[in-house]
Structure 1
Amino acid sequence: MNSNFIQVQNAEMVFNTKKGRFHALREINLNVAKGEFVTLIGHSGCGKSTLLNLIAGLTLPSSGALICDNREIAAPGPERAVVFQNHSLLPWLTCEENVHLAVERVFGATESKAQLKARSLAALDLVNMGHAATKRPHEISGGMKQRVGIARALAMEPKVLLMDEPFGALDALTRAHLQDELLKIVARTQSTVVMVTHDVDEAVLLSDRIVMMTNGPAATIGEILSIDLERPRNRVELAEDTKYVHYRKEVLDFLYTRHGHVEKAA
């Protein structure tokens, strides 16, 4: 296994704002192995999404370097697909057409229309949304929209799947169902995943490692917790698993004891 598939090397991120310079991230060093599922967790404002955007190439670091598959990350690319909390589907297109947009961008120069259509439908089938191929976003539920967003990302056959709280806006039952589906999809595709979450249970259930961020400004990686739980994982069985309970407590201790969140007075 390539343990340096994604490399973040001493990355810093400083934003120039109307109120002056804001130091968002400092001294970020992280290696992600090929096929690994890593979650980023921490309190609001700790730079989780900023770090994900750096890996996506949506923003460039103030200093330091980011590398994916031995190439420096200097811009967005189809080898790094992003799934946001907002599904970002185009409302005037069907589910299949929304997926087709991404497929055409990556494979349009080398494949026929029939092949592109087959890719789009296969991606929808992967997330159990083949039945909704001809429906438009307003005709399906929030959870279904998010499935289509994931299908669109997977249709590009990315080397890395980047997810920014993809289930954060969903109700608890829908979120749990999509978490279980994501576990199955990742097992089938062997995707490398970096995911931002606020949900401790989600982090422990899905991850191979949990990267715990210190509070901002100038946030950094506080601790990294390896999750040694066999796959495939079953949330009901894990609920009383002593190792699962231990990992959950470790993350909670970090977030609320070692790096407790203190609300600023108004």
Structure 2
Amino acid sequence: MEKILQEKYVQLENVNMTFFTKKGTFEALKDVNFSIREGEFISIIGHSGCGKSTVLNLIAGLLQPTNGNLFCAGREIAGPGPERAVVFQNHSLLPWLTCSENVYLAVERVFGATETKDQLKKRTQAAIELVGLAHAADKRPNEISGGMKQRVGIARALAMEPKVLLLDEPFGALDALTRAHLQDELMAIMAKSGCTAVMVTHDVDEAVLLSDRIVMMTNGPAATIGEILDVELARPRKRLELAEDGHYNHLRSEVLKFLYERHAKKAA
């Protein structure tokens, strides 16, 4: 029987976020409203300080909104949960553990109460293989490249079998070639896993290449949703072919136009 995907799998309703600091209050987000379909890949883009990571942290449950509501699969987001896994720009691997052991920690945390050690090891191995790191499973973080470390972080998140994968500029610290390679791998991984993804990025090409829709944020303070762009490009996507695709370049121009106009307003 074909699975019916939810149109409003993740929902943000009238979300406001104000931070209270020693210097006073700072209104980061105001009246943020949008929903994400199940299985959809969403990118959030905007200038620095527009609240992109704040939106991601709210969905992750790491922050609670000052006003408004957030839902995932029909349930209110009241805190972190294993159905929502986060991949940060800093991979945050424990240096004294191997790649496999770093992934196993997450697996044990989520499934340790209900599964045997053998089952947990199989889950770990499957996640390591999914990101193409079977050959490096027994290596420690200082023995592998930055790109491989980030793949371990993705494997750790996917090993939890999340319904929603949250990515906070996961390739921002990598060189251009490694970044391009991991973007291609992420597309393949997401096609296999089928989970919903939300990614924060500053990279226009990355947003257009990976996304089904791009959420463009206005400048802060009191940032909100400026525009949402549908990326109507067939999958699987091949970057070399898209480089000469007229519609791809049109979408890229639309994002650049939005960001340029916002920069001009900020400068004024």
- TM-score normalized by structure 2? 0.97
- SS for the counterpart of 1:82 is strand
Residue aligning to 2:221: 217
Task: Give the one of 173, 189, 198 matched to 1:194.
Answer: 198
Listed as ranges, the matches of 1:12-91 within 5 Å are 12-91=16-95
Please tell me whether the aligned partners of residues 255 and 261 of structure 1 are also in contact (alpha carbons under 8 angstroms): no
Cα offset, 1:263, TM superposition: 5.3
- SS for the counterpart of 1:52 is helix
Cα offset, 1:96, TM superposition: 0.5
Cα offset, 1:18, TM superposition: 1.2
Task: Give the one of 142, 147, 152 matched to 1:148.
Answer: 152
Task: Give the one of 113, 120, 139 matched to 2:117.
Answer: 113
Cα offset, 1:259, TM superposition: 4.9
The count of aligned residue pairs is 264
Listed as ranges, the matches of 1:121-140 within 5 Å are 121-140=125-144
- SS for the counterpart of 1:260 is helix
Counterpart amino acid of 1:135?
K
Measure the CA separation in 1 of the matches of 2:260 and 2:99.
Answer: 41
Residue aligning to 2:212: 208
Q: Which runs of 5+ in 1 are unaligned?
A: none
- SS for the counterpart of 1:123 is helix
Counterpart amino acid of 2:63?
T
Cα offset, 1:110, TM superposition: 1.1
Measure the CA separation in 2 of the matches of 1:166 and 1:217.
Answer: 24
Measure the CA separation in 2 of the matches of 1:164 and 1:21.
Answer: 25
Please tell me whether the aligned partners of residues 39 and 203 of structure 1 are also in contact (alpha carbons under 8 angstroms): yes
Please tell me whether the aligned partners of residues 254 and 260 of structure 1 are also in contact (alpha carbons under 8 angstroms): no
Measure the CA separation in 2 of the matches of 1:59 and 1:135.
Answer: 34
CA root-mean-square deviation? 1.0
Measure the CA separation in 1 of the matches of 2:215 and 2:264.
Answer: 16
Counterpart amino acid of 2:239?
R
Please tell me whether the aligned partners of residues 214 and 259 of structure 1 are also in contact (alpha carbons under 8 angstroms): no
Q: Does 1:97 align with 2:129?
A: no
- SS for the counterpart of 2:171 is coil
Please tell me whether the aligned partners of residues 219 and 266 of structure 2 are also in contact (alpha carbons under 8 angstroms): no
| CA deviation string 1:191-243 (max 9, x = no partner) | 10000000000000000000000000000000000000000000000001000
Please tell me whether the aligned partners of residues 87 and 167 of structure 2 are also in contact (alpha carbons under 8 angstroms): yes
Measure the CA separation in 2 of the matches of 1:225 and 1:258.
Answer: 16
| CA deviation string 1:135-187 (max 9, x = no partner) | 00000000000000000000000000000000000000000000000000011
Amino-acid identity (%): 71
Moved over 6 A (4+): none
Cα offset, 1:260, TM superposition: 3.2
Q: Does 1:233 align with 2:206?
A: no
Please tell me whether the aligned partners of residues 11 and 35 of structure 2 are also in contact (alpha carbons under 8 angstroms): yes
Residue aligning to 1:11: 15
| CA deviation string 1:6-27 (max 9, x = no partner) | 0000000000011100000000
Residue aligning to 1:175: 179
Residue aligning to 2:247: 243
